[in-house]
A and B are shown apart, each in its own frame.
Chain A
Amino acid sequence: MPGERLSFGIVVFPGSNCDHDAYHVCRHILGQDAQFLWHKDADLKGVDVVILPGGFSYGDYLRCGAIARFSPVMGEVIRFAREGGPVLGICNGFQVLLEAGLLPGVLLRNASLKFVCRTVHLRVENTTTLFTSRYRPGEVVAIPIAHGDGNYFAEPETLADLEQRNRVVFRYCDEEGRSTPGANPNGSAANIAGIINAEGNVMGMMPHPERASDPLLRHTDGQRVFLSMLDAILSRSTGHSPITAQGGRSERHG
C-alpha cells in the first residue's frame, strides 16, 4: 500500500553516540518511522528493523560490546534476530553483535594502535543481501570509519566459511577497488569491513553508512544500505515499487 512506512528501532546504550545520526537518516532523510530503544527495556516496541549504533557502550569496559551484550534489550534483539528480524550493527554495534554470538569472530585493537577517523573506500562484495541490493556488484563506495578496535579476526575455518558463502559484504580497498594491505586501515583479516550471518538477516560493519547519507554532508554512498532495507522489507509485505530518498531536510529548511 503506498505510503506505508518502515519502523526502525535504534538501541541506545550508555555511551552510544551515533544513535541520533541513525535516527536522523531513518526519519528525516528516508522519511520513515524511527524510535529509540533504551537498553534497560526488554521491549523492541514492534519495530521492523533494529539498528545497533556506533559509540562506546559502557565505556568499552572489559571488551568493546561485552557488557552491552548482556543488557536487557539485547535478549530481545537476539530473539528478534533468531526469528529472522533484520538487524544492522554499525561500528560498536558490530562489536556487540560479535560478542552476542550473532556474527562470528572478534574485533581486535587496530594494528596501528591508533584511533582511525577518516573516509575510506569499500568494495561491495555481495549485493544480494537485504542491506546491499541497491549497490552494483564490485562497486567502490566512500564511507567514513571512526574506531580504535576494528581489526577483524576469526579462525581460518571461519574466514574460509565467510568467503565460500559470500558472507563478506564490504571489504576495504583503494579508489580503484583493489584490496591491498595499504588500503587496510586497521589490520583486518582479508580487508574485511562488514559481514553478514548465514541466514542473511544480521549484518555488522565497521564503517558508518549513517554518516554518509545526508546530502547536506555531500557524501551519500551509505544511504543505499538503508534504501536496500526499505526495498526488501516493504516490497516483501506490500509489493509496491521502491522508495527514493527525500532531498534532505526540506521540512526544516523549506
Chain B
Amino acid sequence: MFRARVHVTLRPSILDPQGKAVQHAVTALGIAGVQDVRMGKYIELTIDAADAAAARTATEGMCRKLLANPVMEDFHIEVENL
C-alpha cells in the first residue's frame, strides 16, 4: 500500500483573491512580514499498487484528468510506502 499526498495550487499567473484576503487578515492581526499567501488543496490517496512508481503514475493520471485543472492549477505529488 502506498500513500500519495497531492498538493494542488493555483498557477503563479492566476490571481488568488482568497489568498489576498487571508494575507490582509494576517496583517490585521499585527503580524508583519507576510509577503504573499496562496491558497491550495491537499488531497491524500491510499493506493494499492505494485510499487511506488506505479502509485505515482496512477496519481499523475488522476491529477491530469480530475484532481487538478491544468488551465489554472499545478500539482505536486509525494508517494510514501505504508
Q: Interface residues, chain A, CB within 8 Å of chain B? A: 62-63, 66, 70, 99, 104-106, 108-113, 153-155, 187
A108-B14, A113-B17 given; A66·B66 CB < 8 A: yes
Q: Does B71 contact A (CB under 8 A)?
A: yes
Q: Is A106 a contact partner of B21 (Cβ separation < 8 A)?
A: no
Set of chain A residues within 8 Å of B67, measured between Cβ atoms: 62
Q: Does B81 contact A (CB under 8 A)?
A: no
Q: A63-B69, A110-B17, A112-B17 given. 9 additional CB < 8 A pairs? A: A99-B69, A104-B71, A105-B71, A106-B69, A109-B17, A113-B17, A113-B18, A155-B71, A187-B15
B36, chain A: closest CB distance, angstroms: 17
A137 to B67, CA, bound (A): 40
A85, chain B: closest CB distance, angstroms: 24
Q: Interface residues, chain B, CB within 8 Å of chain A? A: 14-15, 17-18, 21, 41, 66-67, 69, 71-72
Q: Say what secondary structure dominates the interface of chain B.
A: mixed
Which of A70, A111, A155 is the one whose CB lies under 8 Å from B66?
A: A70
In the complex, 27 of the A-B residue pairs with CB atoms within 8 angstroms, ordered by the A residue number, are A62-B41, A66-B66, A70-B66, A99-B69, A104-B71, A105-B71, A106-B69, A106-B71, A106-B72, A108-B14, A108-B15, A108-B72, A109-B17, A109-B18, A110-B17, A111-B17, A112-B17, A113-B17, A113-B18, A113-B21, A153-B14, A153-B71, A153-B72, A154-B71, A155-B71, A187-B15, A187-B17
Which of B15, B69, B71, B72 is the one whose CB lies under 8 Å from A111?
A: B15
B31, chain A: closest CB distance, angstroms: 21
Q: Say what secondary structure dominates the interface of chain A.
A: loop
- Residue among A62, A113, A155 facing the most chain B CB atoms (10 A cut-off): A62
